[in-house]
């Protein structure tokens, strides 16, 4: 039976979950996959955490050379998060010919070309299933199950924190600040929630998934990003009146050119992604032959994410030749490959004074910039004689919409453009 030594860099939440699966399922994996996987070393400062997990102190240290110089360790799993020291340790392991498995989407998305090159030069594998959507096997689906398709689009709820917040706001009418505080208390959001609520986490995952799907690297600076911190319950409620559900989506499309963006989106209630609640994740993929597919499950957590890590460990251990998902053929995206301006439908809420002719003036401004209106909701004036008007447009360009809104802000009687949310079919 093939025996493979594994090292773990850190045993925090996901690292601990991975250790638990690898130890408890060791015999199961031997029976089903014919591979004996042994955790041979753990790099961890927190000895209390190691004791809690029942890790033999003899295999715990803080010296990376105990891993890089051990010829029996073939696979290294990284759980530190952040850029450093994760990047440096991964590079050391790759240079030592060790295959690396990581869930670190920020470090990986920012340093992918460098890590890929080092892995190739040292005949090492590079695996990252757990970097996107936790325990949902979206990476293997894109690389091993979609070969007969040109992937044309990806739409994903890829951040559990924001989906929890938006679900609570929608279902219970609770404001953003309260939902964020509750998410932090439940451990769904960090003390500093910026990475989640401002869309950075989803942007990292959008880069990875888009690059895999389109066989061209989609760097972070090509992805439009907008978070959820400005979302109001009233807009969610107006969206409900129009038959929409609000989600933060990572969206990429590959028709004539590639476009990639992360922002709040109104989806029709009947869209499969609209029913994804709480901290769950889902990715909706369209291939030119297979049509629409949706992958759904837990996007975070010790055991779900650990499950994805172990999947990569078993996959890597079974290979006679280290695999890097055929990345030799993947090239950086040139400006000519990328859509500089995307098109969308739009939800717009404008606050106006209750004066005669204001709706006609706003409508004329939209028409001036070729923005066609699909639906209008005009509410009664409040006590201060201001009222909201909600527009939903037909498909138009981002530049046309922004130009129209700038013009509208200058109309006498317009108090503010209070909300702009993109709408996807």
* Spatial separation of the C-alpha atoms in residues 207 and 157, rounded to whole Å: 14
The region, left, alpha or beta by phi > 0 then psi within -120 to 50, assigned to residue 285 is beta
| Element of type H or E holding 252 | strand 244-254
CA torsion, ordered 391, 395, 398, 400, to nearest 10 deg: -80
Dihedral, CA of residue 249, residue 305, residue 166 and residue 198, to nearest 10: -60
Class of residue 129 by CB neighbours under 10 A (exposed 0-12, middle 13-18, buried 19+): buried
How buried is 293 (Cβ within 10 angstroms: 0-12 exposed, 13-18 middle, 19+ buried)? Answer: middle
Q: Considering 98, 105, 205, 253, which one is annotated as catalytic?
A: 205
Q: Say how far residue 330 (Cα) sits from the centre of its chain.
A: 21
- Separation CA 398–CA 284 (nearest Å): 23
Per-residue b or e along 74-85, where b marks 16 or more CB atoms closer than 10 Å to that residue's CB: bbbbbbbbeeee
Across-strand partners of 419? 349
DSSP SS3 for 377: strand
- Say whether 74 is catalytic: no
Query: Do 101 and 78 form a contact (C-beta atoms < 8 A)?
Result: yes
> What residues does 351 pair with on adjacent strands?
388, 416
The three-state secondary structure class of 396 is strand
Nearest to 227 by CA among 183, 194, 253: 194
Helix or strand holding residue 308 (H, E): helix 302-318
Q: Which of 125, 413, 411, 419 is nearest to 263 (CA)?
A: 419
CA-to-CA distance for 295 and 283, rounded, in angstroms?
5
How big is the chain by its Cα radius of gyration, in Å?
Answer: 24
Residues carrying an active site annotation: 205
């Amino acid at each position: 039976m093939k025996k493979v030594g594994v090292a773990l860099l850190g045993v925090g939440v996901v690292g601990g979950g991975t250790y638990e699966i690898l130890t408890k399922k060791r015999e199961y994996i031997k029976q089903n996959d014919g591979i004996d996987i042994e955790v041979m070393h753990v790099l961890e400062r927190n000895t209390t955490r190691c004791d809690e997990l029942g890790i033999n102190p003899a295999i715990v240290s803080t010296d990376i050379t105990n891993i890089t110089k051990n010829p029996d360790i073939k696979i290294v799993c990284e759980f530190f998060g952040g850029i450093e020291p994760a990047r440096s340790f991964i590079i050391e392991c790759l240079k030592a010919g060790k295959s690396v498995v990581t869930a670190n989407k920020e470090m990986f998305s920012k340093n992918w070309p460098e890590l890929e090159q080092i892995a190739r030069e040292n005949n090492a594998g590079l695996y990252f299933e757990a970097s996107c959507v936790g325990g949902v096997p979206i990476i293997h689906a894109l690389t091993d199950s979609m070969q007969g398709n040109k992937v044309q689009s990806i739409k994903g709820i890829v951040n559990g924190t924001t989906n929890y917040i938006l679900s609570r706001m929608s279902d219970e009418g609770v404001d953003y600040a309260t939902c964020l505080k509750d998410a932090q208390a439940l451990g769904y959001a960090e003390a500093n929630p910026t990475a989640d609520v401002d869309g950075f986490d989803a942007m990292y995952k959008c880069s990875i998934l888009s690059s895999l799907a389109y066989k061209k690297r989609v760097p972070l600076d090509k992805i439009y990003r907008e978070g959820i911190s400005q979302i109001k319950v009233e807009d969610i409620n107006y969206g409900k009146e129009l038959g929409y559900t609000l989600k933060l989506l990572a969206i990429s499309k590959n028709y004539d050119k590639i476009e990639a963006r992360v922002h709040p989106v109104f989806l029709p209630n009947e869209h499969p992604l609209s029913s994804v609640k709480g901290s769950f994740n889902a990715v909706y993929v369209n291939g030119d032959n297979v049509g629409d597919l949706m992958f759904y499950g837990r996007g975070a957590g010790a055991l779900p994410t650990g499950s994805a890590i172990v999947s990569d460990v078993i996959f890597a251990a079974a290979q006679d030749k280290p695999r890097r998902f055929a990345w030799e053929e993947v090239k950086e995206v040139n400006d000519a490959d990328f859509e500089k301006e995307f098109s969308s439908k739009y939800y717009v809420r404008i606050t106006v004074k209750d004066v005669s002719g204001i709706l006609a003036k706003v409508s004329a401004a939209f028409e001036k910039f070729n923005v066609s209106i699909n639906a209008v909701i005009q509410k009664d004036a409040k006590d201060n004689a201001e009222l909201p008007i909600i527009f939903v447009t037909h498909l138009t360009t981002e530049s046309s919409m922004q130009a129209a809104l700038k013009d509208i802000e200058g109309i006498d009687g317009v108090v503010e453009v209070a909300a702009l949310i993109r709408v996807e079919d």
